Amino acid sequence: MKLNLLTSILLAVLALTLGGGATSFERAKEAEAAFPAAEFTSPVQMYCLPDNTVSVVLRWTTNRVGPQWVDLSLFNNNFAEGTFLGNGPLFAGQSGLVWNGLLPATWHFLRVNTLTPFGWFPSETKVFYTRDDCSFEESLLSIPPPPACLEAPPAPSIAGCVWTAKPDFASYAVGETVAYCYWVNQAMNVRIVVTKPDGTKLVVIDRFDEGIGACVGPYQAAEPLGLRIVQLYGGPGDPLLAETHFLVP
C-alpha cells in the first residue's frame, strides 16, 4: 500500500508541476525501437486496487543484452529528464512487471529502456489509459452466509464468520469480482486479512463493528496465482475467529 501511494503521489506531483498539455492521446506518437531494444508483446492488463488506484501487468520480450529499466510518464515528451518514474534495474532476462498505484482515468506513457555496452536502447512507447471504474464501497450483507455461520454460539461467547460468494477453496479467474463478507455475534473490533501465495497480505477491513457484519468490495482476483487464505480476527486480544480460502488458478 505504501508503494501504491508513493507512485500516485509522485505521478500527481509531476502532473501539477509540468502541466497537463502533453497528456493528450491524440498527440501521442510511438517511438520506433531498434534492435536490441525490448518489445511489448501484449496489451496492458489493469486491475483495481483497494485504495482506488490501478495495478497494471506489463509484458515484453527481451534480447538479454543488459539490465533494463521500466519508465513511466504522464507526458508525451520522449521521457524528458525529470518527467518520469523509473523502475529498475531489472535483470536482463526479465520480461514482465506488475506496477501498482497508478492514477485512474489517466493517459500513461511507458517504455522499457535497456542498457547495453553500446548505450541505451529504448523500446517503443506504449500508450494506455487507466481504468476509470475503480470504486470500493462497503455495503450491508448481500451474499448469504454459509450454513456454518448459523451454528455460531450466542453472546457472550465471541464468534464470527468470513466467506466469499463461492464455497471454500473455490476458484476465481483473474479479473473476476471478489467480495469479502463477515459476521460477528457482538460489537467488537474486526480485521480481515488476505494472505497471498507470495506471502504478501491485504488488509480488507480493520474497524469497529456493531455486531452487524458487512460485505466489503468489490475487489478483483489478480496475480500472483495460487491459494488465498482469508482470516477474520476480532474481539479482545484480536484472536482468529474464522478462516476461508479461494484459488486464483
pLDDT (tens digit per residue) in 11-69? 655 555 555 444 444 334 444 567 889 999 878 888 777 677 888 888 899 999 999 99
Q: Among candidates 195, 199, 186, 197, which has minimal Cα distance to 231?
A: 195
With 0.85 as the threshold, say if the pTM is over it.
Answer: no
CA–CA separation, 107 vs 127, rounded Å? 7
Structural domains in the chain plus CATH codes: 2-129 (2.60.40.10), 137-248 (2.60.40.3880)
Question: Per-residue pLDDT for 7 more than 80?
Answer: no
208-249 pLDDT per residue, tens: 888 878 888 778 899 999 999 999 999 999 999 999 999 999
